[in-house]
Amino acid sequence: MTTTNDPPAKGQDGRDRSLPVIANPSRRTAVKGAFATLGAAAFVAAVSPLRQAAQRSSAAEFMQSHYKRLTDEEKRQVIERLEAEAKENHGVEVEIADDRPIPGTKFVYAINLSVCNGNGKCVEACHKENNHDRSTGQSYIRVLEMPKGTMDMEQGNTTYSGVVPKDDKFYLPVQCQQCDEPPCVDVCPVKATWKEEDGIVVVDYNWCIGCRYCEAACPYHARRFNWKQAEIPAEEINPDQSYLSNRIRPVGVVEKCTYCLHRTRRGKLPACLEACPTGARVFGNILDPDSNIRWILENKRVYILKEELGTKPAFFYYFD
């Protein structure tokens, strides 16, 4: 750096003209100190809403380790704490289990597009089963109303209304495809989401940092973010919960369909399947050679959503 005009011209153009107080070194220091104090106080005031956020979460929650690192004893304590929080914040007794995959099981889902009539019962059942926020009407399932004669989702419409089914339409429900090559898992910077042995992709809601990279990476719009704390009337809360699935999620984290693992790992069927009045939905263990799902995949015309992306979904669509 060179100095071409030395000493710098001052005063003539008023640029460097100082206030009297600024010209006096000791008073200047005092004024500086006062301003620094004022600035610090203003900063504390500016970020004071953070205290409200801090009250919501406990030291134990802050310190909690990754799900896979927790010992059985630690898991028990975490679940106890979460149950107490549900009681305190939502006024309801819930039971949170830690459902683990059943050995020898690989869950897959199939939907019969010839039968689905777009009634949306699955969307509603998911909303209730998984303790979604009531005001935003959240659900892990979206149904596209598609004109017959195309599989191009660009032609679809998710906000259809009126009497279904319409003659010239068919209906395409989309939820997490539980991919075998899940891009959402690859991109997570903190390993807060992973694929379990039975094929279900789960999220540790207490480890997710809420960067939403997985939401950008998912080609199926399967992931949801908790933009606000879920609000559900106490009597509507499903108390039958699991740590990695439908427990009431904290604000600011990502969540997704878990094939209702709190049901399916206990031998029940997913809530969306049970709610479906048409029988379009089939769920089961693909490793079981006698299962319905195995028969369908072997005998029907099966279609995979965005197969060209190489995500290898464990979710199939078929036609009669």
Residue (112 or 138) nearer to another protein, CB:
138
- Of the candidate residues 6, 72, 167, 168, the single one contacting another protein (CB under 8 A): 6
Among 98, 180, 196, 215, binds another protein (CB under 8 A): 215
Q: Note whether 20 binds another protein by CB under 8 A.
A: no
Q: Contact letters (x/-) for another protein, 85-124, by CB under 8 A?
A: ----------------------------------------
Please report, as residue ranges, which positions from 170 to 209 form the binding site for another protein (by CB under 8 A).
174, 183, 186-192, 207-209
Non-local (6+) Cβ contacts of 188 within 8 A are: 213, 214
The residues in 118-157 that bind another protein, with binding defined as CB under 8 A, are 142, 144, 152-154, 156
Residue among 27, 30, 37, 53 that touches another protein (CB under 8 A): 53
CB-nearer residue toward another protein: 50 or 234: 50
Structure tokens at 306: 């965005």
Among 213, 274, 278, 300, binds another protein (CB under 8 A): 213
- Asked if 292 and 314 count as a contact pair (C-beta separation under 8 A), the reply is no
* Closer Cβ to another protein, 215 or 274, answer by number: 215
Residue 181 token pair: 């090559």
Residue 300, classified by CB atoms within 10 Å of its CB into exposed (0-12), middle (13-18) or buried (19+), is middle
Quick one: which of 66, 87, 266, 268 contacts another protein (CB under 8 A)? 66
